[in-house]
Amino acid sequence: MLAKRIIPCLDIKDGRTVKGVNFENLRDAGDPVELARIYANEGADELVFLDISATDEKRKTLVALVERIAAEINIPFTVGGGITTVDDVYALLQSGADKVSINSAAVRNPLLISEIADKFGSQCLVLAIDAKQTPTGWKVFLNGGKIETPLDLYEWAKEGASRGAGEILFTSMNHDGTKNGFANEALRQLSETVNIPIIASGGAGTMPHFLDTFTIGKADAALAASIFHFGEISIGELKTYLLQHEISIRL
């Protein structure tokens, strides 16, 4: 069995790490370079950097910041935000990213998934999906959760996988920042819909929440932000807890 992964997420706005609830009411969470260094030293399996306002502000990801973070860490590093072309991907990989995450641009131009996968390999492409449970099912949202689309979460995930995405990063907007647990039913259905790894995002508040998303939700990795940023749970403690509950994890 492949080891489950614990992934801190750095949501970046104006060069600072921020965190909100349900994608709103953002508050400062610290310097991204310093946080990245801390998480790498604490035993994080990977790190995700999302420039959350790049798409909405119609600009490219902060390449200089990516270079600074990459220089400080020795774990796999995924970067997303404002990526719209193969050239953008090349620039970020050259700056030190190991993988890229695409979201809104992939919905607007699904061919981008295939183009990136064909040029750089599926292993470096994460399809990020922000979705909200609505009266008509789980719908995909764009531009940091600001624009609703008619796309169904599961159908879009299936299309993304078929076009060459190597992983799905699913963030439940209903659960984001609430600390009430991950969207485990949706995660389980996702894992049964596609045959690529699923990263759970949105809702982590306690160590049992991680256990539940690996057992009930069948997630391959779990991403969290505020509980790590504000020192509520340490990565070392979390991994020890998961090992004690017979979850395969790297110490």
130 tagged catalytic = yes
Q: So what's the pLDDT on residue 27?
A: 58
Q: So what's the pLDDT on residue 81?
A: 86
Per-residue pLDDT tens digits for 57-82: 545 667 888 899 999 999 999 999 88
One of 45, 130, 176, 220 is an active-site residue; which one?
130
One of 11, 45, 176, 220 is an active-site residue; which one?
11
Give the chain's mean pLDDT.
91
88 tagged catalytic = no
Task: Using alpha carbons only, give the angle 103, 6, 78 rounded to the nearest 5 degrees.
Answer: 35
For the residues 225-251, what does the mean pLDDT come to?
A: 94
Q: So what's the pLDDT on residue 32?
A: 85
Q: So what's the pLDDT on residue 146?
A: 86
Q: What single string gives the DSSP state of each residue in 41-88?
A: HHT-S-EEEEETTTTTTT----HHHHHHHHTT--S-EEEESS--SHHH
Q: Which residues contact 1 (CB under 8 A, 6 or more apart)?
A: 248
Q: So what's the pLDDT on residue 20?
A: 56
Return d(Cα 18, Cα 28) in angstroms, integer.
5
Q: Phi then psi for 177, rounded to 5 degrees?
A: 75, 0
Please report the domains of the chain, with CATH numbers, ordered by start residue.
Answer: 5-244 (3.20.20.70)
Per-residue pLDDT tens digits for 7-59: 998 888 777 777 555 555 555 667 888 889 999 999 999 999 988 666 555 45
Considering only residues 229 and 30, tell me which one the structure prediction assigns the higher pLDDT: 229
